[in-house]
């Protein structure tokens, strides 16, 4: 009923609503595109700090970087929120080779999956291939025992939204090691979750069943996956690999938080995740979301905006392999008896923004779609039911009636870079990054003004 009333109110105040909001949104975009800080801040995060694996020294430095930058903008409050995080290390550089029946050898481009155990030296075994996780689950243990499983589930190139293709392939990374281990495999390698065909292996988190056998798990590049697949069609292939990963004791880290006070203490949260994988520089995933979020708050402050509600920017820690930042934040908000109106996440890269996915009721969707005309000239046109984000997801568990949004982008190139050494600052377009920051600021403004 609340959102229905808001929608009716918007209809009856359409003229003044459009005029006032359109003028301010134009100012937001002017500030982002002419005087923006997003690109220089991303350069600093990527080049001065670097890749930011949870528990690493670089992740610790990223917390200091975020706190210092937020303090430099003079927001009403900047503080750290303590969290307990997992600490996994890749160790020495992974190595892998395949050898066919004729003795031909090829060196693999290979990366351990996040959370994998080590190989305890060089291991080797015959390769057995499955086209997807379901096929592996149906295999007889005798077909898998003491072999190295190869899961070769490729992106469906017919899917226009590459995040849907990623989601369809994700089970081979997330659950592959568990299923292969249950069948007695010695190790598992997967085809990288990538839309492109290149030599970059893509890492990412995976899961074990603590009551079952754990086996080493790695990803190989899509080019190597194609090569291995072709070799297997011709005969027996042996794979050798060595990885030196280790899981250490949990550490203490922090979410970094900045606030602007409003006329009341009801909260609108937004953010991205400060951690990244340890290859590349974490520029698109999720350095872009971090600078989008900081820049959105900076823009509103620089324009002299006076919020209706408490505006809170959160740089979440540990999205990639645990989401302890998101879950700790949500529980903290609930324990403090806060009222949360909405949350927004940017975690889809620094590409051209296209709109916002809406996680909420049909009435909440209609409320957000009421902004379409205001945002159309800024090329934001996608407002559909969808996914919000990993970091803010736990907030929905504590506040099931709240509205959540995930900023959408042109997704065609994202999985060329995702979780790989290719995800560096140079892969981000300055103007597209600035447009993303402006889109975040505009939506925060609209939610704050009309909720």
- Active-site residues, by number, are 319
> Sign of dihedral through CA atoms 214, 219, 224, 225?
positive
Q: What DSSP assignment string belongs to 328-344?
A: HHHHHHHHTT--EEEEE
> Hey, how many other C-beta atoms are within 10 angstroms of the C-beta on 367?
24
By the 8 A CB rule, do 437 and 302 touch?
no
DSSP string, 189-234: EEE-S-SS-SS-----B----TTS----EEEE-HHHHHHHHHHHHH
DSSP 114: B
Q: What is the CA radius of gyration of the chain?
A: 23
Max CA distance (Å), the chain? 77
Q: In what order do the strands lie in the sheet with 403-409?
A: 77-89, 246-260, 310-316, 267-273, 340-345, 403-409, 353-359, 382-385
Strands 382-385 and 403-409, sheet pairing: unpaired
CA trace torsion 49, 51, 55, 60 (10° rounding) = 10
Taking the C-alpha atoms of residue 370 and residue 305, their distance in angstroms, rounded to an integer, is 22
The terminus-to-terminus CA distance of the chain in angstroms comes to 13
Question: Quick check: 269 and 340 in contact, CB under 8 A?
Answer: yes
Distance CA 447, CA 386 (A): 18
Number of neighbours of residue 89 by Cβ within 10 angstroms:
14
Strand, helix or coil for residue 241? strand
């Amino acid at each position: 009923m609340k959102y229905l009333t808001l929608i009716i109110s918007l209809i009856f105040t359409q003229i003044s609503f459009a005029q006032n909001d359109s003028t301010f949104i134009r100012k937001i975009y002017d500030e982002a595109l002419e005087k923006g800080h997003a690109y220089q801040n991303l350069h600093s995060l990527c080049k001065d700090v670097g890749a930011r694996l949870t528990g690493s020294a670089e992740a610790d430095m990223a917390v200091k970087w975020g706190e210092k930058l937020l303090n430099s903008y003079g927001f009403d409050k900047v503080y750290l929120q303590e969290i307990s995080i997992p600490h996994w290390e890749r160790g020495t550089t992974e190595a892998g080779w395949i050898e066919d029946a004729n003795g031909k050898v090829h060196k693999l481009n290979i990366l351990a999956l996040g959370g994998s155990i080590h190989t305890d030296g060089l291991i080797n075994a015959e390769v057995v291939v499955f086209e997807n996780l379901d096929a592996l689950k149906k295999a007889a243990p005798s077909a898998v025992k003491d072999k190295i499983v190869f899961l070769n589930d490729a992106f469906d190139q017919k899917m226009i939204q590459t995040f849907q293709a990623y989601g369809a392939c994700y089970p081979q990374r997330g659950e592959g090691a568990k299923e292969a281990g249950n069948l007695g495999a010695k190790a598992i390698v997967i085809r990288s979750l990538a839309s492109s065909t290149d030599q970059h292996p893509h890492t990412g988190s995976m899961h074990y069943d603590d009551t079952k056998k754990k086996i080493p798990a790695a990803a190989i590049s899509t080019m190597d996956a194609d090569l291995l697949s072709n070799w297997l069609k011709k005969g027996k292939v042996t794979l050798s690999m060595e990885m030196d990963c280790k899981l250490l004791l949990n550490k203490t880290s922090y979410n970094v938080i900045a606030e602007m006070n409003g006329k009341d203490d009801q909260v609108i949260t937004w953010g991205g995740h400060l951690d990244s994988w340890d290859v590349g520089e974490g520029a698109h995933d999720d350095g872009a979301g971090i600078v989008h979020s900081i820049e959105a708050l900076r823009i509103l402050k620089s324009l002299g905006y006076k919020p209706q509600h408490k505006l809170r920017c959160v740089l979440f820690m540990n999205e990639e392999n645990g989401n302890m930042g998101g879950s700790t934040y949500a529980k903290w908000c609930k324990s403090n008896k806060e009222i949360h109106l909405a949350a927004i996440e940017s975690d889809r890269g620094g590409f051209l923004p296209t709109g916002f996915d809406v996680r909420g009721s049909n009435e909440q969707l209609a409320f957000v779609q009421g902004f379409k005309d205001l945002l159309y000239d800024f090329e934001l046109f996608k407002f559909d039911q969808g996914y919000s984000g990993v970091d803010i997801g736990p907030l929905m568990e504590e506040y099931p009636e709240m509205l959540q949004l995930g900023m959408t982008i042109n997704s065609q190139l994202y999985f060329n870079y995702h979780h790989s050494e290719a995800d560096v600052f140079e892969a981000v377009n300055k103007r597209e990054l600035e447009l993303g920051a402006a889109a975040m600021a505009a939506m925060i403004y609209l939610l704050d003004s009309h909720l």
